[in-house]
Amino acid sequence: MRRNARARLAALSLSVSAVVVSAAVAGGGTARAVPAAAPPPVPAAVDGGKWRSGHLQGTALDRDGGFMYFSFTDLLVKTDLRGRPVGSVTGFTGHLGDLDFNKDDGRVYGSLEYKSAKAFYIAIFDGDRITRMNMDAHSTGVVSTVHLKEVVKDYTADMNGDGVFDGNTANTPDHRYGCSGIDGVAFGPGLDPPRRPRLTVAYGVYSNTSRTDNDHQVLLQYDVRFWKRYERPLSESEPHTSGPARPDGKFFVYTGNTTYGVQNLEYDAHSGDWRMAVYKGKKKTFPNYSFFVIDGSERTRWGLVRGQASPEVGRMLTLAPRGLYDEESDVYGYQSAGQYGLVSLDDGRFYVAEAGTAESDGVTLRTGRAVLHRWTGLTPNPFEALRRR
Ligand SMILES: [Ca+2]
Ligand SMILES: [Ca+2]
Ligand SMILES: [Ca+2]
């Protein structure tokens, strides 16, 4: 099967060779041909189709296999790199968020939230087994889930101590750090040495301008090599709690409050930095950028988690000192897309996703497309599309 995918990609490479060459030139390289050992070429865009679902939440690329995965909130779509759907997983009543592809086990990992049941999971998709449309998430065995207790603890925290947890609302002092659940996920190196591969999961954070304890992004890291023992089938009627008692690392980065935290998280091996795309915050004391870069070369340090009712220290990450800068808050960032899907090709290029709608017989369908860009680092938008639109 993988060989077939490679053959298809070889055919594709003809149509995208112009893009590959222009990328090599733009990146300062002199290569005229793709060396034999180079990863398979990729097209300038991959169309994720039109679906009756929620909006696009994230994308993941299986480059060797030749597949792209699109998360549409309650639907996972798998396409080949020509955008032809080859399978889908349906039947989620929770919120499926951002995705990433784990090269070590060939599976797709995504965030999955059940706020009313106070349950938060990583959903793990066995992509090789997603071979037809409308596969049921519960009965086909293509999805397993691992429960994240740490998220539940922070989400359900009764911060004002009135004995009442206010539930899924932004208009409350409850939820530690303003935690609304999880969204951004990405594989990358451990943020603390030794930098072994880890899954990083970013909190959602409610927008709330009247509290001061919600101005950080919160990232959890997990070593998923030992997760088999926790994995359970998805059961929405009886949510399970099988998962690690605590993360292998918990990290904070000061960006100012945002609207639902990190939508898309991605590690870029080319720069060694992390990328976070967010929906802008609303606090007047912050620049409210929509895109942040974590400096991967900076060691984490213990520092004050600002704005907490009682002083608290945590492992702090550093924003890369590039892009737009707000002196007042000492926050760096960009104004950029990436909230609906962001995949690094680890060579200076990224797939940045577009989300939209299409009408069909009076029904609004959701669309998604991954479009190849080059990282320029320019401001305000650090991405440049790699083909004329
Ligand atoms: Ca309360
Ligand atoms: Ca999202
Ligand atoms: Ca991601």
For ligand 3, the distance from its centroid to the CA atom of residue 34, given in whole angstroms, is 27
Query: What is the predicted pLDDT for the residue at 273?
Result: 98
Q: Is the pLDDT of residue 31 over 80?
A: no
Per the structure block, which two tokens stand in for 90?
A: 């349906």
Per the structure block, which two tokens stand in for 254?
A: 């000061």
For ligand 1, the distance from its centroid to the CA atom of residue 161, given in whole angstroms, is 6
Residues 302-331 have a mean pLDDT of: 97
For ligand 2, the distance from its centroid to the CA atom of residue 264, given in whole angstroms, is 7
For ligand 1, the distance from its centroid to the CA atom of residue 117, given in whole angstroms, is 17
For ligand 1, the distance from its centroid to the CA atom of residue 113, given in whole angstroms, is 21
DSSP state of 174: -
Query: What is the predicted pLDDT for the residue at 113?
Result: 97
Query: What is the predicted pLDDT for the residue at 350?
Result: 98
User: Per residue in 251-291, pLDDT tens?
Assistant: 999 999 999 999 999 999 999 999 999 999 999 999 999 99
Q: Give the integer Cα–Cα distance in Å for 360 and 378.
A: 39
Phi, psi of 15 (to 5 degrees): -70, -20
User: Per residue in 235-250, pLDDT tens?
Assistant: 888 999 999 999 999 9
Assign 36 a pLDDT band (cuts: 50, 70, 90).
low
Query: What residues have their beta carbon closer than 5 A to ion ligand 1?
Result: 158, 160, 162, 164, 174
Q: Give the integer Cα–Cα distance in Å for 12 and 279.
A: 35
Query: What is the predicted pLDDT for the residue at 26?
Result: 42
Q: Give the integer Cα–Cα distance in Å for 355 and 245.
A: 36
Note if the bond before 194 is cis, omega within 30 degrees.
yes
The pTM assigned to this predicted structure is 0.90
Phi, psi of 216 (to 5 degrees): -110, 150
Tokens 């950028």 found at? 289
Closest CA to 338 of 264, 273, 260, 259: 264
For ligand 2, the distance from its centroid to the CA atom of residue 297, given in whole angstroms, is 27
Which domains can be identified in the chain, with CATH numbers? 45-385 (2.120.10)
Q: Give the integer Cα–Cα distance in Å for 116 and 275.
A: 30
Contact (CB, 8 A) for 71 and 99: yes
User: Per residue in 83-98, pLDDT tens?
Assistant: 999 999 999 999 999 9
